[in-house]
Amino acid sequence: MAVNGKKIYKLMIVDDSNIMRRRIERSQTFEELELVGTAGNGLDAIELFKRSDPDVVTMDLTMPQMDGIECISRLVSMKPAVRILVISALADKATAVEAMEKGANGFLNKPFTDRQLNEAIAELLGSRGR
Amino acid sequence: MLYEQELKTFVDATTNFFVVAAQEPASIGSPYLMEGAPAVHEYTGVINISGKREGVVYFTAPKAMLTVMLMKMQENDFSHETMRDLVGEVANTISGNARRDFSRDFVISVPNVLTGEERPEVPREPGRRSFIIPINWRSHSAKLVVSLT
């Protein structure tokens, strides 16, 4: 689907914090992103992913039941073209590298400003098809 | 012995949260040594540390402060769960920065949130010093407590 000549990408937000899920939804300014759902842990994210087939995912790492690293692996195995932006308070390089090796495409540290979030999403959308 | 650089990691993580998420810097009061029972406000985010050092770090804040922080974050849900969520996010940031700055000799837990009169367990033993660092923001005051061997 396209709006104003722009392709619409389906967005899924995964974070165990209600505040963060709402914050990401409210702060992202991309008209080409359509929110298809949010999940509070990795297991729920996989169920939602199967139902709604998102193109873009924001992913927390520290979550109950299934963490973000495991969830990234599962999502990428189901849909290799999915673009995943990790948004996490885990600020060490080793964690970022592990997430990228599992298939994430970007990493944003919490806390973040609206500008930082939108720049990270822009980079993620700009990297589609590489 | 708690080293100054380690204390700085915890303080910087906390104040950075105010600057970035609540869009207004917090100021730090003079640290002092904790005596007696652990001091808590209504909401407390706790991380436990083991390995090279043993102990607990927690951020505790009054509901009024968290309410204003949520307003500054454009939130319109001020429920008990949202307050828990917010104090957990502050502790989460402290935990994440500690993992970045400290070696793998430190094992840092995911945050746990306490409310009301619940108090973190702060063991009393020789060699342990527990610092209370006042975190002042607008007209409110929270506490960062660092208790490590």
Domains of chain B by residue range: 4-148
pLDDT tens readout for residues B21-32: 999 999 999 999
Contact between chains at A22 and B77 (C-beta distance less than 8 A): yes
More confident residue, A4 or A126: A126
Question: Does any CB of chain B come closer than 8 Å to the CB of residue A90?
Answer: yes
User: Average pLDDT, stretch A8-35?
Assistant: 95
Is the pLDDT confidence value at A82 over 80?
yes
CB contact under 8 A, A23 and B93: no
Q: Which domain holds residue A101?
A: 2-126
Is B4-148 CATH 3.40.1550.10?
A: yes
Inspect the interface and report whether the beta carbons of B92 and A89 lie closer than 8 Å.
yes
Burial class (CB in 10 A: 0-12, 13-18, 19+), A64: exposed
Q: What is the pLDDT of residues B95-131, one digit of tens each?
A: 999 988 887 778 888 899 999 888 888 777 776 788 9
pLDDT for the residue A3: 64
The ipTM (two decimal places) reads 0.86
* B127 contacts: CB under 8 Å, gap ≥ 6: B1, B149
B17 Cα to chain A: minimum distance (Å): 6
DSSP string, B84-140: HHHHHHHHHHHHHHHHHHS-TTEEEPPPEEEETT--------TT-EEEEEEEEETTE
Asked whether the predicted pLDDT for residue A46 surpasses 50, the reply is: yes
Domains: count for chain A: 1
The model carries a pTM of 0.91
Give yes or no for B96 touching A (CB within 8 A).
yes
Largest Cα–Cα distance of chain A, in whole Å? 41
Instruction: Say what the pLDDT of residue A130 is.
Output: 41
CA nearest to B73 within chain A: A23
Q: What average pLDDT does range B41-52 have in this prediction?
A: 93
* Nearest of B67, B60, B30 to residue B45 by alpha carbon: B60
- With contacts defined as CB-CB under 8 Å, which chain B residues touch A95? 99
User: Which of B82, B93, B100 minimises the CB distance to A111?
Assistant: B93
Supply the pLDDT for residue A127: 65
Q: CATH no. for residue A67?
A: 3.40.50.2300
Query: Residues of B with CB below 8 A from A90's CB?
Result: 96, 99-100
